[in-house]
A and B are shown apart, each in its own frame.
Chain A
């Protein structure tokens, strides 16, 4: 491990974060908001980053797998802290709440501790949406795209941040891959921004929602989320872009370069779409008797199903008034999540597909004890290391969710609240049920619960292992 260089990289990332703070700072000046909070955060980050970069100059530049875990975890932690500074300095939130809001932002969870977001200065709302947008495609990927420093060993960072069991490059060079993915991301964001404006939103709200949709984040500029606009057109646009964000960006790239055959044949995509349609169908069956007109029911079902499975977490209707079966389906969707290589959270469709296939193979082996039963994906045999990685991930995911739920319950909350809060945090979804339902927020939790849930969000976004290995004593030896 090359700790000196790790710190050096982290220093550069701090500088990068401080540079990003220029955006809300500019907006604050333009909106005549107080620029102080952003200026303060910017200067603190720049000073810390500059100092770190200066103190850790080194000629040995190379990152091994271990450095990757350390740098990526460290980067997410420090950007979360920097991201919390504007809330804190603006006097809007206390330290724990500010950190929770910032982590919830960068991890694209979208759970909030702010009861009335409309009371916030607009520049702060923009920063809140921007944290999600940056975290969606990934701050590390962003750095790889623009910092040549990360060219060597960048693959280790890439692997540690990109969601899914296997990291795919779309271009031969990592920096080019990062630029391509970010380019697509920016393109989609602009497209949604324009469409939302055409649907009648003002430019600012349209921009904030484009930021948080593509990131599958779910922060809104309204207390009642997207539902408050009361515009079917807006909701349909958001539905489409939530789906786009929940799909592997490598597939978007393939579509762009005309390799649509690969896209059509993609097993994970088919599976993902099948789960979405099944969920919508089940919701429709349950909601059919609830009255209201057909279009509204369909729209609400589609919106809510897509919002939860892509782990965006927007709300268009108060689903806590829905029948219990419908609420159950929504929570169950949190177990699926977006596709690997998307901006969505959750365990990822690919892992579920592989787990199911591995389950089928095991059953097959019970029936034919001597049979050779490889698990295949796209015609290729999937290695045991990948399969056991998937199993380990799902186990860790369930255990972690259980532990977090226990903490929430210990703080005196009911079962539904505890379980849904834990799942929504680790799956980076946003809303839950009970005391953290569609129309509630997370402000009422005690500080400890907020910290535990923040940790869950980070673990969920970095897919557990990246952080978990840091807790191993083996890791710190040498």
Chain B
């Protein structure tokens, strides 16, 4: 596939790196000279200097031949122009626009309807909100995703010292949870991330991703030693778009919310919009105010100001002051990993979430959902199995899947099956596959079949 990425910022460059790694031909349009140079050096992509809103520049970047167009500059307006030019003038079959503003999104959708090809807008803030909202109901989790129409949760938990999981062989999970089963799908141990098999064992300090039936979640939590608080009290630092949206949603769910915002005007505006939320005018790192508002009893603290480092500091402080969990918004990839080690429960990167969604959109075949774990080292994808796919037929053990690949679950009709080696995949099943990212390309070919 030939992909054109307009805008070489964090989203654009991460996206380009992902696409290039998956053996696609990538061209990036970027106007900043220094950034261009970095892109040309670090990635196996072609860089075209210039403003992506110019038809001339797009043409010279080969928009006519491209199969997918990604508009991900920092400006909504520019992205709309790029995406619409791509659709209307050049009939690009798949177009992704990154839009942060809801109004822009609505206008874009309205216009795009009239145009040929597939379109999608991705809102990084919205993606972050969804991520936060999926994390909140699962205490102790560092990451939560749902697959197979909500019938399967993939959640990452750190394995604490002294928990029942420490030293447990993976194959013994089946004894603990006979039905519905629980499966460990990925483990990060120190610097290594891998898709484990039955002879591996859990160790204290691992970050383990489990595929869990929602009904079995409470038992897993119990075994991990995670206790669910009696009441939900969420504190949010920063009345950013994300902070406000989360507050709105939590209000609707009858959760007590306290929102900290330093800027008077922004705080007043937030207080006017929200109903029950307590809006406090204070810096997110103001220890006294945090204590005054009862941080020690908070079930979660979410730092989502526009300042990455402030978010990290605030989240660390909240954790120290007794908040049960602390999440932090961090868009700087260099910080992300580090922060996890510092003891913040979950790090949310709106821009990386955007990249994930964009890649998912252009995945070939019948990929229903896809996600990446552990800084992109492990990949999950949910696919619909069609006739002619190489997955159909022989039992799993004899299928010859690429190494490090796991069929985690199948959705057949309405029931979720965690397949053993003797299970066969049938046409019409939905399969959740897990693989290390270095082999994702191989798996793509495998799944694509034909």
Residues of B within 8 A of A169 (CB): 40, 46-47
> Does B443 reach chain A (CB closer than 8 Å)?
no
Residue-wise, chain A 43-79 has the 8 Å CB interface mask toward B (1 for contact) of 0000000000000000000000100000000000000
Interface residues of B (CB under 8 A from A): 2, 20, 25-27, 33-34, 40-42, 44-47, 49
| Contact among A154, A155, A380 for B40, CB-based, below 8 A | A155
Instruction: Check: A383 CB closer than 8 A to any chain B CB.
Output: yes
A370 close to B (CB within 8 Å):
no
> 22 A-B Cβ contacts within 8 A?
A65-B41, A151-B44, A154-B44, A155-B40, A155-B42, A156-B41, A169-B47, A171-B25, A171-B46, A172-B2, A172-B20, A172-B26, A172-B27, A172-B44, A172-B45, A172-B46, A173-B20, A173-B25, A173-B44, A380-B49, A383-B33, A383-B34
A 148-164 to B, binary, CB cutoff 8 A, 1 in contact else 0: 00011011100100000
CB neighbours of A65 from chain B (8 A): 41
Could you say which residues of chain A place their CB within 8 Å of the CB of B44? 151-152, 154-155, 172-174
| Bound CA span A154–B43, Å | 10
Instruction: List the B residue with the shortest CB-CB distance to A176.
Output: B25
Extra A-B contacts (7), CB below 8 Å, given A151-B44, A172-B46: A169-B40, A171-B25, A172-B20, A173-B20, A173-B25, A174-B44, A176-B25
Chain A 138-187 interface residues, beta-carbon cutoff 8 Å to B: 151-152, 154-156, 159, 169, 171-174, 176
Chain A residues within 8 Å of B26, by CB:
172
Proximity bits, A435-477, B CB within 8 Å = 1, else 0: 0000000000000000000000000000000000000000000
A264, chain B: closest CB distance, angstroms: 15
Q: What residues of A have a CB within 8 angstroms of the CB of B41 in the complex?
A: 65, 155-156, 159
B201 CB → nearest A CB, Å: 24
Bound-state Cα–Cα, A383 to B26, Å: 25
A173 to B41, CA, bound (A): 12
Chain B nearest Cβ from A160, distance in angstroms: 12
Interface size class of A (residues with CB under 8 A): 10 to 19
Most buried by B among A152, A159, A172, A380: A172
B69 CB to nearest A CB, Å: 14
Contact check: which of A154, A155, A172 meets B25 at CB < 8 Å?
Answer: A172
Complex-state Cα separation, A159 to B41, whole angstroms: 9
Distance from A151 Cβ to chain B, minimum over Cβ atoms (Å): 7
In angstroms, Cα B41 to Cα A307, docked, is 34
Residues of B within 8 A of A156 (CB): 41
Nearest CB of chain A from residue B442's CB, rounded to whole Å: 14
With A and B bound together, what is the CA distance between A159 and B45 in angstroms?
Answer: 14
Bound-state CA distance A405–B430 (Å) is 75
Interchain CA distance A420-B20 in the complex, whole Å? 47
In the bound complex, what is the Cα–Cα distance between A119 and B23 (angstroms)?
51
Contacts of B49 in A (CB 8 A): 380
Q: Mark A281-292, 1 if CB is under 8 A from B, else 0.
A: 000000000000
Expressed in whole angstroms, the Cα–Cα distance for A1 and B386 within the complex equals 47
Contacts of B46 in A (CB 8 A): 169, 171-172
Chain A: minimal CB distance from B437 (Å): 14
When C-beta atoms are compared, the residue in chain B nearest to A64 turns out to be: B41
- B residues less than 8 Å from A151 (CB atoms): 44
How many angstroms from the CA of A173 to the CA of B44 in the assembled complex?
Answer: 6
Q: How far is it, in angstroms, between the C-alpha of A380 and the C-alpha of B33 when the chains are bound? A: 10
Per CB-CB distance, the 10 closest pairs between chain A and chain B, nearest first, are A172-B25, A172-B46, A169-B46, A174-B44, A172-B26, A172-B27, A172-B45, A173-B44, A383-B33, A173-B25
Report A241 CB to chain B, min CB distance, Å. Answer: 29
Q: Bound state CA distance, A156 and B40, in angstroms?
A: 10
Of listed A171, A173, A174, residue having the most chain B CB within 10 A: A173
Contacts of B33 in A (CB 8 A): 381, 383
Q: How far is the CA of A372 from the CA of B111 in the complex (A)?
A: 43
Residues of chain A within 8 A (CB-CB) of B20 are 172-173
**Residues from chain B with Cβ under 8 Å of A381 in the complex:** 33
Q: Which chain B residues border A174 with CB–CB below 8 Å?
A: 44
Closest to B4 in A: A172
- The interface residues of chain B lying within 8 Å CB-to-CB of A380 are 49
